Amino acid sequence: MAKELKFVAQQCMNEFYQNFRGDNEFWTIEDFIDDAGDVVAGIYQAIYQQQYQENRGIKKDELVTFDTSILSVQILDVTKDENGKYFASIKKPIMSFAYDTKDIGIQQVFLYEPNNGFLVERTTISELWQLQFAPKCNKVFGYVSSSGLTLINKSNCLNINKIQVYYVPEMNPNALVPDGFIDQVITKTVQGKRILADKVIVKKGLDENQNKILETEIDKNQLR
C-alpha cells in the first residue's frame, strides 16, 4: 500500500539515526522529507526520460505513459458556467516534466459521476476550433490549464458532476509514494545523508552537547 511521503521520510530518519532523534541532531524531519521527495521525483523523471528518449529514437510522437500502479488518484468536482463549459479545479499538485508539451503529469481522466469509467479524450487549446464544428460523437474531451481541467461535452451525458484523475504527484509531505518505490527511496535518502555526514565536523561544547557545523572544502593549511 502506498505511504505518504512524510511517513516514508520518518522511516529514512529512523534508519539514519538508528534511534529516536536527539534534540541536538543536525537534520530534522523536514530535511528528510525534502530529500526523500527529491528521490521520488528523480525516479519518476528517470522513467519519463527513458520513454521520452525511446519515442524520439523511433520518431514516435506518443504520450509518455506510466503504469497505473505508480500513479495517484484524485476525485474532482466539476462546475458548469453560463456558456456550457465544464471545469474542474486541481486539488493536489501535479508533477511537471522537462520538455513536456502534453501535460503528461495528468495521465488519464475518467467520468466519475455519472458514467463511472467513461474515458475523457485528451485535446489541446490549439485543437479546440475543430471541436466547435464536431457533431455529437458520444465523447468528452478535456485539456489541461494551470489551474485545472476544462471539459468539452460531445457525449450523450446531460451533465458531468465529478471526474477521476490519474496523475503523477508533485512531492509534498502528503504525496503518496508507491509501494515499489519505498525501499529504494529509503536506501538512497539514507545513503545521501551518510555521505553528507562524513563531511560534517562534530565538536562538543562546554555542556558536552554535540554542535555540528558544515565543513567547507577550503584547505585550512593554505590560510596560514
15-28 pLDDT, tens per residue? 998 866 555 567 88
116-140 pLDDT, tens per residue? 788 999 988 888 778 777 777 888 9
The reported pLDDT for the residue numbered 22 is: 58
Among 12-16, 74-78, 189-193, 196-200, the range scoring the smallest mean pLDDT is 196-200
Among 77-81, 119-123, 145-149, 155-159, the range scoring the smallest mean pLDDT is 155-159
Domain boundaries, the chain: 3-60+176-217, 72-167
- pTM of the predicted protein model: 0.80
Q: Is 214 helix (H, G, I), strand (E, B) or coil?
A: strand
Helices (H), ranges, the chain: 5-17, 29-57, 128-132, 179-197
The reported pLDDT for the residue numbered 98 is: 83
Compute the mean pLDDT over every residue in the chain, rounded to the nearest whole number: 85
The reported pLDDT for the residue numbered 192 is: 93
Residue 84 pLDDT grade (very low, low, confident, very high; cuts 50, 70, 90): confident
Question: Which of 51, 139, 58, 177 is closest to 102 using CA atoms?
Answer: 51
Instruction: Please say whether the dihedral angle defined by the alpha carbons of residues 49, 55, 60 and 64, taken in this order, is positive or negative.
Output: negative
Provide the grid cell at 25: 541532531
pLDDT at 211 over 60: no
CB 87 within 8 A of CB 81: yes
CB 90 within 8 A of CB 187: no
